[in-house]
Structure 1
Amino acid sequence: MKRRRFLHRIGSILAVLGVTEAEWLTLGNRYYQALAQPSSRKLALLIGINQYPQIPALSGCLMDVELQRELLIHRFGFQGSDILTLTEEQASREFIEAAFLDHLGKQAKPDDVVVFHFSGYGSRVKLETSPDRMQNALVTANVSQKSQDDKIVNYILEETLLLLLRSLPTDRVTAVLDTSYYAPSSVLGLKTRALQESVEAKLAADELDLLKQLKTQKLPSTPVVLAATSNPKQSAREGLFSGFSAGLFTYALTQYLWEFTPATTIQVALSHVENSLSKLGSKQQPALLSNQKNSLAQDVENFSPNLSPTKGEALNSPPSLVGKGAGGLGFPDDVKSQLLPDNTIGAEGAVSAIEEDGKTVHLWLAGLPPQVLLYYGVNSRFTLATTEQLVLRSRTGLTAKAQISKIDSTTPLQVGQLVQEAVRVLPRNINLTIALDTGLERIERVDATSAFATFSRVSTVVIGEKPADYLFAKLQQTPSRYGLFSLGGELIPNITGEVGEAVKLTVQRLAPKLSTLLAAKLWRLTENQGSSRLALKATLEIISDTSPSVVMQRETVRTFKTETSIKKSLPTPNSARAKQQLSANSTPIVPIGSRMQYRVENQSDRPVYLILLGLNNNHTAIALHSWKTPQEPNTADTKPLLKEVVIPPGETLTLPQTNAASAWVISEPALFNEQQLILSTAPFSETVAALNTAKYSTAEQSPIGPLLNSLDIAQALLQDLHNASALKTEINGTAADSYILDVNNWASFSFSFQVM
C-alpha cells in the first residue's frame, strides 16, 4: 500500500477519534524507530475489542491482549516496542488493516517472527461476487456505516486476513483468532463471541478493493492460524475467573505456553488445551485453520507449529485440523518450531515489578492452571533461577505480591525473571459454586438459592457476577423443567426435573451429583504436570495382539532422566491409528470394545504411590480399584479390600495389571471420559482407607469402576498429599486451615478421551 494512502486511511479514523496525525506518529515512535533494528526481529499486532456501538459488550478481549503481550515479552523474548496493540475504538477496520500493512508488512523481513492476535466478535456476510454463500468475517470496532440505500459493514473477511498473513515475507507467522462466526439463537451460560449474520449487509468498498488486490499478488508465506473452534457451529466463549474475564481459548493457550516447554506431536498439545477448556466448562475444540477443506489431518505426527519451544512435549499445537496442498495453509509433518522461548524451562509466571529495594516483588501468574488460580493461597512459594524462594503475600487475579523468604543472595532481583511453583497452598473450605441463570424469574432464583443453601459446601451466585462451576437454568426446549448445565451450556444428563416440577424438588434431586462434582473439582486442583519435580511418565494405551497403541502421553516437564535411571522404551505407537483419530477430533477417540491400560514409568529415585480418579460422560465418578487377593478365596462373605499401588524407582508398571479375569474393557459408549492420575512419594493411606469403607460386592470387582464415596475420597486424597509435604511446620499458621503441597512430592496428570 502506498504511504500516501496509508496516511489517508489512518487520518480518516483519527479524525473520528479526535487524534491528530502528528499525535499518532508521536505515540507510534516506539515501533517506527524499530525499523532501524537489525533482523531477525519479533513483531506482534494484538487486537482486542470489548465495547461495540449498539452491540452487547464483551468482557474478556482486553485481557486476552494483556495475556498475549505478557506471554510474548516474558516467555518468547519480544521487545515491548515491537508489540502494537489496538483496543476498543482504535480497532477499526481501517486502522487494523493499515497497522497490519505498516507495522507488520513494512517491517517484517525473511526469518523474522510475526504474531497476530484478534479477540472480538465474528460474524458472517455475503459478497456480491458470491451471493449464494456466507463468508466468515471479523467484526471491527466501527461495526457499520449507514448509506442511503444499503447497510455497509466494516468487517474484515477471514479470507482477507489469511491473504494478508500470507503476504508477509516470512514463513514464521502465527495468528490466533479467539472469535467465532455462527451466533446461537439463544445463549446459555458463558458469553459467546459471534454476531448474528445479516443477509442485507454489504462489505465496505475499501475492504473489497483490498481483497481483490491481495488476490493478484504473489503470496509467499504459509502462516499457522489457530482458531478457537474447529466446528463452524461451535461458539468461542469467554469466562469469568478470579477477578477478570478472558477468552477461554486465549487463556487456556497462553497458560499452556507459559508452563510447558517440550514439543513432540500435535496430539499432546491438543489434548492439553482441550482438557483445560473442558475444565472451564466449554466443549470448544481449537483448530488449525486451513483453506484446503478437503485435505485435512495429513501427516501430522511430529507436527510442532510456530509457537512451540523445543524439547520433549508439544507446547503449542492446539489446532485439530491440518490442511496440506496447493493454495492451502498446509504444513508437512516435519514443520519445526519457529518461535522459541528465551528460556527452555517453563514457568508459572514472571517478576513484573520490584519495590522497597527488593523487599516486595510483584508477580504475573498466568502460567498457573486456571482452575487452580482461584484458590491459590497466601504462603504459596515460587523459586527463581537463582534458587531464592518467593513467598506469596497477596493476590488479585493474575497479579500477586511476594517477598523473598531469605535475603542472603548477592544476586539482585530483576524484572522479567521467571518464577516456578514450589509449594501450593489451597484452602480446606472449598465450595461448589452454582450460578443461577438470569432467565430464571425472581421467585425461582429465591427458591433455588434457598434450596441450594441446604447443602453443605455449595454456594450460589448470579451468572456473570462471580466465578462459578456450573449453571442452574431452565431447559430451553421445555422451560417448565430445570436442570444443571456446564458453563458452556451443556446439560448434565440424568438429573433434570420433571415437567412442572418445583425448583426445590429439582435441586433436591441434584444432591448426589453435587457431591460428585465437588469431588472432581477438588482432585482437579492437584494438576501440576508443569511444575512437578518428580520424574514420571504416564501413557494411556489400547492393548492389541501385536503392540499397544498409544492414545496419549503425559510426563513431567521440569525433570530429566539421570544416569542412574533405568531407561525403558515405550512400545512404538500405532501412528496410522493416531493420525486417523486426529483427523476427526483433537480429543483422542477410543473404539467400543477396546482393552485399555495405563503404562506408568517412574524415572525418579524414590518409590511412588498411585491413585486414579475420574468422571465419565454422565458425570459419574470412577476410580482404579487395585483389589487384594483374598486369603480365603472360597469364603463367600469375604469383604473385598483394596491395596496401595506402588511403583519402585526406575520401574514401569501397567495398570490395571490385566489378565483374562480382570481387564479394563470399554464396553459401552460414554462419549467423554476425564481421568486424573495422581502420584505421591508417600502412601495414600487415608485415601485407601476411605475407599475400603465403601460396600463393594464381589461382582463389582472390576479394575476401573464406580466410585461410591467420591467426596470423602477427594478430601482424603488432598490430606494424603498434604501429609507427604515436609514443609508444614515451616509455614506457621497455615496448616490448620489449608492443604500444603510440595512439588517435590507429587505429580498429577489429566487424561481425556472420547468413546465411539
Structure 2
Amino acid sequence: MLTRRHFLQFTSSALSTIALSQLDSFTQAANLLAQPSPRKYALLVGIDSYDIDPLKGCNTDVDLQRELLIHRYGFTPNDIVELRDRNATYNNIITAFQQHLIHQAQPGDLVVFHFSGHGSRVRDRQAIPELIRNGIGLNGTIVPVDWQTNNPQQVRQIMGKTLFLLSSQLKTNNVVMILDSCHSEGGLRGNSRVRSLDSRMSSGDQLPHVIGAEAELQSRLQTAIGWGDAELQNRRKQGIAKGVAMGAASFDKLADVVNPEALELSQNDFTAGAFTYLFTRYLWQSTGARSLDSVFSQLVLSSILSSNNPDQAPVYKVAPNSGNGRKPIFFTPSALPAAEGVIHLPPKGDQVQFWLGGAAPDCLQAYETAVFNILDRRGNILGEIQQTHRSGLVGYGKLIPSSTLQAPTQLQVGMLLREKVRGIPDHLTLKIGLDASLGEALPIIQQGLLEMAKVAVVPIAEQQELHYIVGRVENLDSPTPRSIAQRSQKGQWCLLTPALEPLPGALGDPNDTVETMLDQLRRRLKTLQAKQLLKTMMGDASTMKISVDLVPAEIVDPKEMTTRPIGPAQTVMSQSAIATNPAAVVVSPKFNRGTIVQVRLRNQEAVPLYMAMMVIFRDGSLSVAYPYAIDAPIDEALVAPTSEKLLKYAFELKFATVFELLVIASRRPLNKLLKAVKEIADQRGEAHRGKPIGLKDDRSIEVATDMLMEIDEISQRAGARPALPERRIVDMNQLGVLSTIVQVKG
C-alpha cells in the first residue's frame, strides 16, 4: 500500500502537515484556464546555496514546478511566490506562507507549497507516540538557508508540527504540499547528492532542539486556532492537516531509517530533484482527471525501472476521510493535450525559446535538432518549430512558416509543443564509472571498456552524468544503500546505478577472475547499449491511437488468433489505456506471480498498423514478445484498422518483478526486426514455440541498430529530412510507441 498509516510520521513528518480562428480559440482557452475564481496560489522554495553540503538541482525544481503550474494548471504568475537560495530564510518562508497563502486563500481556492532542499531531524518534547525512539521524541524538519545558529545545540529549522499548524490555518481544503527532501544521512551516493542534512554534525551524536522562536511560533499558531495540547496531539496522530502531501522518500518502519533517500538527478547538462522531475514530467504527459492514487501507482513503478535510483519510491498521504486520493492532482483536471514543451517566453527576433518539461530524460539527446508541432490548447496543429539547440531543459529554435503562423510575432506564450521529428545522434555513448573498490583490477577493466565502441569511462563525481557504475562489495558495513548488503555477497562484482543500487544479476562470484568478470561486463553493456538506443529512439511517444491490455488468459493455447472489429462496447475504455497523447504511459497492471496472461492489441486508427512488442527488464535485458517467429511474421504483425487482436499465445508470469512492455506501431512493416527475430528463433530451434525471443550480447545492439536504420528510411520516405548528417530521424507520425509498466507481485 502506498498510503501506509505511518507514512512519513518520523523521517518525513514535515509532509504530515499538510488557423486565425485557431489562434482566437487558443486565446480564449488560455483565458478560461486562468479564471480569477477560484484563485490558485503557490509558494515555491528552492535552496541550493547551503553553506554546508550545497545542492545543485533545487532551483531547477522551482522552474519545473512553476512552468507546470502556469502552463498546465492555469496559475497566474503573480499568484506564485518564489523563494530561492539566500532569500529562503526561516523568517521569509514563514512570512510568505502566512501572508501569501493563509491571508489570501479563500474557501475553494487552491494552495500549493513546494519545498526542495535539505531535510533533517530535531528533538521534540511533545512528539506523538509514533515519533518517540528510545524515550526521545523526534520530528522531521525542512531546512532554511540560515539554519545554523551560534549554539550547537539549537538549529533554525521548520518542524513538521509547524507546517501542520500553518496548514490548519488555511481556509481552503484544496491544499497540496510537496517536499523533495529527506532525513537520512547526507552526502553523495555515487554521483547523486542526498537531500538531507545531518544535524548531528553540529552537536555530536545528539540531535539538537529548534530555536526558541520556532517553539513560540507554534504556541501562537496553536492559540490562534484554539487547540489545546491534547487536541493538537490527537489531530496529528490522525494524519495530515489538509489536502494532500507528497514527497520523495518513504519511511522504513522496520529499520528506523529512511529507505531510500531523496536524490538529485544529474541528466545531461542539468540537475534536478529525481522526484520533482519525474512528477512534473509525468503531469505534462497526463490528460484528463487522473486521480492521485493512479498517478502515484505509476510514479512508484517508474521509479523502480529508473536507471538512476530504482528503489526510490515516492509517497503521498491524504487528509483523513477526505477521499482526496480519488481526486485529480492539484484538485484540477487537465483539459490540455499532452506535450513535450511550451513556449514560455516571447520570441526575440526570429528565435523562439521554449521549456521542455515534458521531455523524457532518455530522449533529451534527441532534442538537439528536433521538429515540434505547435498546438493550441485543444490539440490543433498551428505550425512547426525547428529546434536549433538546447541548454538544460530550455530549447531554442525557429518558426517554420505555415499558413496559420507566418511570423514569430504571431507566437504566444503558452502554446504547446509536441514532437514531430526526433533526431537520434550517431554518437550515443554509454557512460560508465569505475569505483575505487575495484582495486588493482580497475586499470584492467578500464582498458577493456575503452576497447568497446560507444562506451566511455568517466569519473564518479557530482553532476557528472553517469549511466552505470562498476564496483565490488568489499565491506558490508560501509555507508552504501542497504540493498547492496541485502542482495550481494562480500567481494561480489556488481553493476550499479549512479546512486549505487545494484542491478539485478551480479557480474560474477567473488572468486571469479578479472577476465571472467570483464567478459560478463562486456556482454551486459552491449545489452544496455541496445536499451539506451531503443529508449532514445522510441522513448514512450505516440501520436497514434493504440492500446494494449494484459488480461488473464481466456484460453491457454488457442488454435487461431482472434481478430475482430472494435464495436461500441470495446471502444469504451479508460482514457489512460489509450495512447491518444504522446508519451502516454498506461495505468500499470498488477498481477500475482503464476498468473497466465494474454495480450490484446487495439488499433483505433483508420489505417492498418504493423505492431510489435518488446520487453525491457530491470537488469536491462531485452526480449521480443511479438510477433512470434512464425513463417509469416509480417502478416502476424498486421492489425487491421479499428480492430483488436487477441494474441495467440499465453504467458505465465513466473517471477515477482517489474518490467516495461513496449508496444511499437508502424505504418510500414519493420522488416529488419521481423527478419532478425525469425533468424534468432530458427537458430535456437524456437520457431514455433510461441514465447518471447531474448536478445543477448551483440545480437541485441545489432537488432536495435537495424531498427533505427529502418525507421530512418521510413521517416525519410515520408518526407522528413535530417537536420544534421550525423543524425538518424524518427518521424513520430510514422511510428508510435506505448509504454506499459507491469508489476508481478510475489
Query: Which band: TM-score by shorter chain?
Result: 0.7 to 0.9
Q: Aligned pair in 2 of structure 1 residues 458, 80: CA closer, same or farther (>3 Å)? A: same
- In structure 2, distance between residues paired with 1:68 and 1:492: 31
Report the AA paired with residue 105 of structure 2.
Answer: A
Give how far 1:451 is off: 2.1
Match of 1:302 in 2: none
Instruction: Give the SS at the match of 1:495.
Output: coil
Stretch of structure 1 that moved more, 345-354 or 619-628: 619-628
- In structure 1, distance between residues paired with 2:545 and 2:530: 27
The residue correspondences of 1:264-303 to structure 2 (distance < 5 A) are 264-266=290-292, 268-277=294-303, 278-284=305-311, 286-290=313-317
Match of 2:177 in 1: 175
CA contact (8 A) 2:42 2:112 kept: yes
CA contact (8 A) 2:157 2:210 kept: yes
Match of 1:422 in 2: 420
Q: Aligned pair in 2 of structure 1 residues 410, 64: CA closer, same or farther (>3 Å)? A: closer
2:518 to 496, 507, 521: 507
- In structure 1, distance between residues paired with 2:732 and 2:36: 45
Match of 2:101 in 1: 104
Report the AA paired with residue 106 of structure 1.
Answer: H
The residue correspondences of 1:528-543 to structure 2 (distance < 5 A) are 532-543=542-553
- In structure 2, distance between residues paired with 1:355 and 1:335: 37
Stretch of structure 1 that moved more, 96-105 or 455-464: 455-464
Q: Give the share of equivalent positions with the same residue, in percent.
A: 25
Match of 1:207 in 2: 214
Match of 2:48 in 1: 50
Q: Aligned pair in 2 of structure 1 residues 410, 603: CA closer, same or farther (>3 Å)? A: closer
Report the AA paired with residue 96 of structure 2.
Answer: A
Residue deviations 1:207-252 (CA, integer Å, cap 9, x gap): 2233344445269972211111234422111111121100011011
The residue correspondences of 1:122-521 to structure 2 (distance < 5 A) are 122-130=119-127, 131-147=135-151, 151-183=153-185, 187-196=189-198, 198=200, 199-215=206-222, 217=225, 222-231=242-251, 232-266=258-292, 268-277=294-303, 278-284=305-311, 286-290=313-317, 324-325=320-321, 330-331=322-323, 334-336=326-328, 339-340=331-332, 344-355=336-347, 357=349, 359-385=350-376, 387-406=382-401, 408-409=403-404, 412-437=410-435, 446-463=443-460, 464-475=462-473, 477=475, 481-499=492-510, 506-521=517-532
Q: Aligned pair in 2 of structure 1 residues 417, 67: CA closer, same or farther (>3 Å)? A: same
- In structure 2, distance between residues paired with 1:539 and 1:342: 24
Instruction: Give the SS at the match of 2:568.
Output: coil
Instruction: Give the SS at the match of 1:387.
Output: strand
CA contact (8 A) 1:168 1:221 kept: no
Q: Aligned pair in 2 of structure 1 residues 738, 332: CA closer, same or farther (>3 Å)? A: closer
Give how far 1:722 is off: 2.7
- In structure 1, distance between residues paired with 2:186 and 2:58: 20
- In structure 1, distance between residues paired with 2:636 and 2:671: 8
Higher relative CO (Cα under 8 Å, sequence separation at least 6) belongs to 2
- In structure 2, distance between residues paired with 1:628 and 1:372: 30
- In structure 1, distance between residues paired with 2:166 and 2:114: 13
Give how far 1:46 is off: 0.6
Match of 1:116 in 2: 113
Residue deviations 1:110-161 (CA, integer Å, cap 9, x gap): 22221110011112222123453432221221222133xx610122122322
Q: Aligned pair in 2 of structure 1 residues 678, 568: CA closer, same or farther (>3 Å)? A: farther
Report the AA paired with residue 570 of structure 2.
Answer: S
Residue deviations 1:295-338 (CA, integer Å, cap 9, x gap): xxxxxxxxxxxxxxxxxxxxxxxxxxx5644xxxx525653565
CA contact (8 A) 2:347 2:411 kept: no
Match of 1:90 in 2: 87
Q: Aligned pair in 2 of structure 1 residues 729, 700: CA closer, same or farther (>3 Å)? A: closer
CA contact (8 A) 2:275 2:314 kept: no
Instruction: Give the SS at the match of 1:251.
Output: helix
Report the AA paired with residue 639 of structure 2.
Answer: I
Instruction: Give the SS at the match of 1:142.
Output: coil
- In structure 2, distance between residues paired with 1:654 and 1:751: 19
- In structure 2, distance between residues paired with 1:625 and 1:109: 54
> TM-score scaled by structure 1?
0.76
Q: Aligned pair in 2 of structure 1 residues 465, 120: CA closer, same or farther (>3 Å)? A: closer
Q: Aligned pair in 2 of structure 1 residues 375, 65: CA closer, same or farther (>3 Å)? A: same
Report the AA paired with residue 112 of structure 1.
Answer: D
RMSD: 3.3
Report the AA paired with residue 249 of structure 1.
Answer: F
Give how far 1:286 is off: 4.6
Match of 1:599 in 2: 600
Q: Aligned pair in 2 of structure 1 residues 254, 338: CA closer, same or farther (>3 Å)? A: closer
Indicate whether 1:712 and 2:702 are aligned.
yes
Residue deviations 1:450-493 (CA, integer Å, cap 9, x gap): 22111112112112353221122332536855421012322124
Q: Aligned pair in 2 of structure 1 residues 238, 403: CA closer, same or farther (>3 Å)? A: same
Give how far 1:540 is off: 2.7
Match of 2:562 in 1: none
Structure with bigger helix share is 2
2:662 to 655, 661, 676: 676
CA contact (8 A) 1:434 1:471 kept: yes
- In structure 2, distance between residues paired with 1:536 and 1:289: 31
Report the AA paired with residue 160 of structure 2.
Answer: E
- In structure 2, distance between residues paired with 1:233 and 1:717: 39
- In structure 2, distance between residues paired with 1:512 and 1:737: 26
CA contact (8 A) 1:379 1:731 kept: no
What is the number of equivalent residue pairs in this alignment? 635
Match of 2:653 in 1: 666
Q: Aligned pair in 2 of structure 1 residues 190, 500: CA closer, same or farther (>3 Å)? A: farther
Stretch of structure 1 that moved more, 386-395 or 197-206: 197-206
2:637 to 623, 626, 645: 645
Give how far 1:65 is off: 0.8
Stretch of structure 1 that moved more, 347-356 or 453-462: 347-356
Instruction: Give the SS at the match of 1:462.
Output: coil
Residue deviations 1:143-182 (CA, integer Å, cap 9, x gap): 22133xx610122122322332232111222121111122
Give how far 1:624 is off: 0.6
CA contact (8 A) 2:118 2:181 kept: yes
Residue deviations 1:501-557 (CA, integer Å, cap 9, x gap): 67665333301111111111222224565x5221112223334799xxxxxxxxxxx
Match of 1:309 in 2: none
Instruction: Give the SS at the match of 2:389.
Output: strand
Stretch of structure 1 that moved more, 225-234 or 263-272: 263-272
Q: Aligned pair in 2 of structure 1 residues 338, 399: CA closer, same or farther (>3 Å)? A: closer
Instruction: Give the SS at the match of 2:42.
Output: strand
CA contact (8 A) 2:673 2:703 kept: yes
- In structure 2, distance between residues paired with 1:457 and 1:191: 27
Instruction: Give the SS at the match of 2:93.
Output: helix
Give how far 1:713 is off: 2.1
Report the AA paired with residue 187 of structure 1.
Answer: R
- In structure 2, distance between residues paired with 1:617 and 1:414: 42
Residue deviations 1:32-64 (CA, integer Å, cap 9, x gap): xxxxx96432211111111222x2221111111
- In structure 1, distance between residues paired with 2:555 and 2:721: 53
Report the AA paired with residue 88 of structure 1.
Answer: D
Match of 1:686 in 2: 672
Q: Aligned pair in 2 of structure 1 residues 410, 102: CA closer, same or farther (>3 Å)? A: same
Q: Aligned pair in 2 of structure 1 residues 698, 280: CA closer, same or farther (>3 Å)? A: closer
Stretch of structure 1 that moved more, 644-653 or 373-382: 373-382
Residue deviations 1:384-426 (CA, integer Å, cap 9, x gap): 3362111111112211221122255467112332222111121
Report the AA paired with residue 103 of structure 1.
Answer: H
